[in-house]
Amino acid sequence: MAERKPITSWLTDMDGVLIHEGTPIPGADAFIKRLRDSGLPFLVLTNNSIYTARDLHARLQRMGLDVPVENIWTSALATAQFLDDQRPGGTAYVIGEAGLTTALHDIGYVLTDHDPDYVVLGETRTYSFEALTKAIRLINAGARFICTNPDETGPSAEGPLPATGSVAALITKATGKDPYFAGKPNPLMMRTGLNAIGAHSETSAMIGDRMDTDVLAGLEAGMQTFLVLTGLTTVADIDRYPFGPSHVVESIADLVSLVDLPDQADQPTTGSRD
């Protein structure tokens, strides 16, 4: 196997890697500080389309994690970038929150329920029967179906909540039309993120806690992948998949030293699968 180039840019998932249920994971603050001190390009990614990057910056800052707005990349931003490339200045009927509607407004999209080019489904805590019915009818009338991410459930203090992927399945069942998912594991989200920070996949790494989104997206985008065990995936889960991460580490704390020593990123001292 060819030797990997040194890591000169980093992408990391947020939930399960940097924070867990609103609390920073030990080592997350040191990792972000090291990234900022190093001057290396980096992004914090999330499939959650509810919040704007500015919202997430404020939420993370309250937890002691100082991530600049320009270093946050959401599935809503990836979706907006995709639509801007496909049909600049288009129209869309949107089911979602401010993170998604703001991203679409920022690219000049008109949000309408009158003969839109797209129906765009994002995450919200207030899915309504009326809105879903309208989306189904618009798709049946010819609107293209776009979804921010395929996550089937999301976390809450009371337990799992139905998320975008589950609602998309309902619409697909009613229309016979599958959506195009812009978020992870679609490598599109990674590639547009890399473009946003001027980075190249050959010298980039993706850190995540999920095999089916983070690791898969990083793999398909051509990056090194680091799986942390502070989220949804356990060591026992890894072999259930036909692909594997480049490296497995206990937590983000194990990666802090690799930021200043990128030439050692392909030889971590903890949990390598090489």
Q: Looking at the annotation, which residues are catalytic?
A: 13, 15
User: Rounded distance, CA 61 to CA 214, Å?
Assistant: 23
Nearest partner of 15 among 216, 185, 231, 164, judged by Cα: 231
For residues 111 and 104, is the Cβ–Cβ distance under 8 A?
A: yes
Let me know if 269 is exposed, middle or buried by CB neighbors in 10 A (0-12, 13-18, 19+). Answer: exposed
- Residue 70 has a CB neighbour count (10 Å cut-off) of 11
Distance CA 163, CA 125 (A): 8
Please, what is the angle between helix 98-106 and helix 75-86, to 10°? 30
* CB hemisphere CA count around 149 (13 angstroms): 30
Give me 181's structure tokens.
């998912």
Name 274's bridge partners. Answer: none
Q: In what order do the strands lie in the sheet with 224-228?
A: 72-74, 42-46, 9-13, 204-208, 224-228, 247-249
Enter the tokens of residue 186. 């679609």
